[in-house]
Chains A and B, each alone.
Chain A
Amino acid sequence: MSNEMSEEMKRFIGLSAVLTGFSKSILAPGIDPVDIKSDYLPFFRKKLAEEFKDSDLFDTLLSTFSDLSAKGLTDTQIGQQLLNNDNGDFVTACRKLIFMWYSGAWPTIISARDGQPESTVSTLISAKSYTQGLVWQVMQSHPMGSSNYRYGYWAKVPPELSAYTGHDNQTQGAKQ
C-alpha cells in the first residue's frame, strides 16, 4: 500500500523485475492502488513451502538475488546466474515466479506421457490477478474482458512496448 516497501518486498520486486523483464516501476508503482505485489509475495512464499517441501526456499531465492545484485551485475547476468543454479527446485521456483507474474495463475507442469508432450496447466489466483497478468501488457493490449481503452483504439497501433514494460531498450514487434 504505502510506498515504503519492506526490505523483503523490495528484494521480491527486484527478483521479479529481473526475471520478468518488466521494470520495478511497473511491477510496484510508487503509488500503487491495485497492489498485486502484496498478494503475490505471501502466495508465492506459501506455494514454495507447499510444493517443494522447503520452507527456506523463498528466503534462499531472495538472499541469492540480493547477493548477486550486490555484485553490480546486469539484469541479464543476474538472471542467468539464478537460472543456472544447481538446485533444480530453485530454478523451477524462479520459472514459476515468471509464469505467475505473466498469467496471474499458478502453474503445474504435466510431464510428457502417452505420446503427449510436456505441458502446463494453471489455476488462477484471483479475479484481480487475472486482470494484472503481464501477458496482456507484453502484447500491448489489455486483459480480455477488462479494457481501459475506448472505442476504436483497435484501429490504431498501440503505445510502444516500452510504455508497457517500463524499459526503454525493448525492440517492439522484433522478428529475430
Chain B
Amino acid sequence: MNVPPLSCSHRFTITAALATVIYLAGCSADEKPEQVHSPQTGEAAASIQLSPHLPLEITVTKTPPTLESLQHDFDVFSWQSFIALNWPAKPDGSPDTDRTIGDGKGGPVVWQQWKESRDLFLPDGRKPPDWNQPNQLPDVCRHLEPSSAPANRMELTQVGKTPNLLDESEEPFQTGPLIDQNGQYTRYAILTNETMFNYVLDNELYSKKGQKAFDQDADFPSSNPKENKTGSIMLKAAWIKMGGQYDPDDFHTREALVYNNPDEQPGVEPACSLEQVGLVGFHIAHKTEDEPQWVWSTFEHVANAPTKDRDRKREAYNFFDPDCKDCDINEPPARPWNPGTPHSQPTQVERVTPITREAQALNKRFHAALEAAAPGSVWTNYELVSTQWPTDADSKTDPTGAPAPSFLANTTLETYIQGHTPQGSSNCMGCHGNAADTNGRASDFTYLLQRAR
C-alpha cells in the first residue's frame, strides 16, 4: 500500500499510477485488469474483469488517499486474490487459463494444491517432502481405498480453532469447536503457498533443531511487484460436511479425508472418513512489500450467520437456528470436545460486527461479475467480510502498524472472540504480531513455526 505524505509519519514510495502499471504487468496480454473505481465515482456501473493472476500490491485509487478510499483499495485486492486463488487449477496447480472461475462445479482450485501445515511439520521434525512430492497420510486414513477418492483429496485435520497444542488455528485462548446445524464439528485447514513453504524448508524451520540453529527472527519473503515475484501467502479454510441441512449445490465442495486427530484433545480416537465438504470460511494473509504486517482478507459463505441486532435476511443459516429462542449466542460447546461425537448441540452464531455498507456494495459488484462470467456460479455465495491492513506500516512505536479496521473476525474462524475490546477481541495483526517459533523468536506473523517438533 502506498500512502501519500499526508503527514510526516507516512512514507510514500510508489505512486498510484505506478502501482497500476505493476498490476498490468501481472496480467497476460489478452486480459484487461479491472477498472477500479473509487467509491466516489459511479461504482455501480463499473465492470470487473476476473483474473487468475494474484495481485502483488494494492492499487491506490485516490490521491491523496483517505481511510475509506484505502479500505476500498484493500478490499478490491482481497477480492482479486480470492478470485485468483479459487480459479480452476490444472493438475500441476497452476490456474487453468482456458477456464474461468466457477465454470462447472467442483474440481480443484488453485489453493487446494498448496501444502497443509501437517505436511510441513512432521511428528519427528524430519524434513518434509518437497513442494511437488506427495505427503504421508495418517495410518488410520490409509485403509481407505485410494481409488475410491478423487484426485487431490485433502485432509482436514484441525477440529475447532484451538484444540491442537501446536496449531495456528488456536486463537489466543482455547476458544472451542464450532458445531454446525447437523451437529457436526466444523473442520479447518491451514495452508501455505510455495514461497512460504520453501522459506521454511530452505531454512530448516520445520524442526525445533533447525529453528535453534537458525536463531533469528523469521522474515518471510514478501511479494515484489517490480520483479513480479509472489511472496508469502497463508490461508485458513473452514469446511462443513455436506448433507442434512446443507445442499452441496450452495457451496464450493470437494471430497476430503476427514481425520479425527487424537493430538487435539485427550479422549479423541483416531478416525478417518471420506466426506464431501463445503467451504464456509476463508482467510488469506499475504505479505506484501509495503505491508510487512501482511494483508489480512477474510471471506465467508453468505448464509453463515445473521448479524447481531439487525433484521435477519434469511430463513436458514449455516450456523444459526432461527427457531431456537433460548440458545446462548456465540457460546462454545461444553467439554469434553471430541470431533468423533456422533451429534452435538449446534452452536448458535451471530456476527457481532456488521459488514460495512461499502464492503457490501463491493461484494455486490463482484457477485455480478462472477455471475456474468459463469451463470449460477457458486462463488456468488461467498462474501468479503473485510480486509485488515496497516495504516502506519513503518511505525516505530506500534509494531502492528496501527491496523484498520482495529478488529476483524470471521464467524467460522474467530467465532468466540468477536468484538471490539483491545487485546481480547479478534484482531489479526495484533494477535499474530505475538507469534513466535519454538525458541521464542518472532515468527513474522505466523503461528505455524511453533508447531515444529
Q: Does A associate with B in a complex? A: yes
Partner-B contacts on A (CB < 8 A) = 1-4, 23-26, 29-34, 127-128, 131, 137, 145-146, 148-152, 159, 163-164, 166
B192 CB-CB contact with A under 8 Å: no
Q: Are B422's CB and A131's CB within 8 A? A: yes
Q: A33-B406, A152-B440 are in contact. Are A25 and B70 (CB under 8 A)?
A: no
Q: Mark B53-73, 1 if CB is under 8 A from A, else 0.
A: 000000000001111101000
Selected contact of B405 from candidates A2, A32, A33, A127, CB within 8 Å: A33
Q: Are B421's CB and A148's CB within 8 A? A: no
Q: Are B8's CB and A25's CB within 8 A? A: yes
Q: Are A30's CB and B398's CB within 8 A? A: no
CA distance A29 to B430 in the complex (A): 19
Smallest CB gap from A30: residue in B: B6
A30 → B minimal CB distance (Å): 3
Most chain-A CB neighbours within 10 Å: which of B67, B392, B434?
Answer: B67
Write out the residue numbers on chain A whose beta carbons fall within 8 Å of the beta carbon of B421: 127
B211 CB-CB contact with A under 8 Å: no
Q: Are A151's CB and B436's CB within 8 A? A: yes
B400 CB-CB contact with A under 8 Å: yes
Q: Are A1's CB and B68's CB within 8 A? A: yes
CA distance A31 to B3 in the complex (A): 9
CA distance A70 to B70 in the complex (A): 34
Smallest CB gap from A137: residue in B: B397
Smallest CB gap from A4: residue in B: B66
Q: A127-B422, A148-B398, A150-B442 are in contact. Are A29 and B404 (CB under 8 A)?
A: no
CA distance A164 to B436 in the complex (A): 26
Given A33-B403, A166-B8, 8 more pairs with CB closer than 8 A: A1-B68, A4-B66, A26-B9, A29-B7, A29-B10, A29-B402, A31-B402, A148-B398
Write out the residue numbers on chain B whose beta carbons fall within 8 Å of the beta carbon of A30: 3, 6-7, 9-10, 64
Write out the residue numbers on chain A whose beta carbons fall within 8 Å of the beta carbon of B41: none
B340 CB-CB contact with A under 8 Å: no
Enumerate 23 A-B pairs (CB-CB under 8 Å) in ascending A order: A2-B68, A3-B6, A3-B67, A25-B8, A29-B10, A30-B3, A30-B9, A30-B64, A31-B3, A31-B10, A31-B65, A31-B66, A31-B392, A33-B67, A33-B402, A145-B422, A148-B433, A150-B436, A150-B442, A151-B436, A151-B440, A152-B440, A166-B9
Q: Are B440's CB and A146's CB within 8 A? A: no
Q: Are A33's CB and B404's CB within 8 A? A: yes
Task: Give 9 closest A-B pairs by Cβ, nearest first.
Answer: A30-B6, A33-B404, A25-B7, A163-B396, A31-B391, A30-B7, A159-B396, A146-B422, A148-B400
Q: Mark B1-32, 1 if CB is under 8 A from A, else 0.
A: 00100111110000000000000000000000
Q: Are B406's CB and A34's CB within 8 A? A: yes
Write out the residue numbers on chain B whose beta carbons fall within 8 Å of the beta carbon of A127: 421-422
Which B95-111 residues have a C-beta within 8 angstroms of A?
A: none
Which B412-453 residues have a C-beta within 8 angstroms of A?
A: 421-423, 430, 433-434, 436, 440, 442
Smallest CB gap from B430: residue in A: A148
CA distance A25 to B397 in the complex (A): 13
A128 → B minimal CB distance (Å): 8
Write out the residue numbers on chain A whose beta carbons fall within 8 Å of the beta carbon of B442: 150
Write out the residue numbers on chain A whose beta carbons fall within 8 Å of the beta carbon of B270: none
Smallest CB gap from A25: residue in B: B7
CA distance A145 to B424 in the complex (A): 10
Partner-A contacts on B (CB < 8 A) = 3, 6-10, 64-68, 70, 391-392, 396-400, 402-406, 421-423, 430, 433-434, 436, 440, 442
Q: Are B9's CB and A25's CB within 8 A? A: yes
Write out the residue numbers on chain B whose beta carbons fall within 8 Å of the beta carbon of A148: 398-400, 430, 433
CA distance A159 to B406 in the complex (A): 23
Write out the residue numbers on chain A whose beta carbons fall within 8 Å of the beta carbon of B3: 30-31
Write out the residue numbers on chain B whose beta carbons fall within 8 Å of the beta carbon of A23: 8
CA distance A131 to B430 in the complex (A): 14
Q: Are B430's CB and A33's CB within 8 A? A: no
CA distance A1 to B434 in the complex (A): 28
Q: Are A145's CB and B423's CB within 8 A? A: yes
CA distance A24 to B8 in the complex (A): 10
Q: Are A2's CB and B396's CB within 8 A? A: no
Write out the residue numbers on chain A whose beta carbons fall within 8 Å of the beta carbon of B391: 29, 31-33
Write out the residue numbers on chain A whose beta carbons fall within 8 Å of the beta carbon of B70: 31
Write out the residue numbers on chain A whose beta carbons fall within 8 Å of the beta carbon of B403: 33
CA distance A7 to B402 in the complex (A): 25
CA distance A128 to B423 in the complex (A): 12
CA distance A57 to B410 in the complex (A): 46
A77 → B minimal CB distance (Å): 22
Write out the residue numbers on chain B whose beta carbons fall within 8 Å of the beta carbon of A151: 434, 436, 440
CA distance A12 to B65 in the complex (A): 23
Write out the residue numbers on chain B whose beta carbons fall within 8 Å of the beta carbon of A163: 396-397
Smallest CB gap from B443: residue in A: A150
Selected contact of A2 from candidates B8, B9, B66, B430, CB within 8 Å: B66
CA distance A23 to B421 in the complex (A): 27
Write out the residue numbers on chain A whose beta carbons fall within 8 Å of the beta carbon of B10: 29-31
Q: Are A150's CB and B399's CB within 8 A? A: yes
Smallest CB gap from A1: residue in B: B67
CA distance A2 to B68 in the complex (A): 7
A21 → B minimal CB distance (Å): 16
CA distance A146 to B64 in the complex (A): 32
CA distance A144 to B10 in the complex (A): 27
Write out the residue numbers on chain B whose beta carbons fall within 8 Å of the beta carbon of A34: 402, 406
B446 → A minimal CB distance (Å): 13
B21 → A minimal CB distance (Å): 24
Write out the residue numbers on chain A whose beta carbons fall within 8 Å of the beta carbon of B396: 159, 163
Most chain-B CB neighbours within 10 Å: which of A26, A150, A152?
Answer: A150
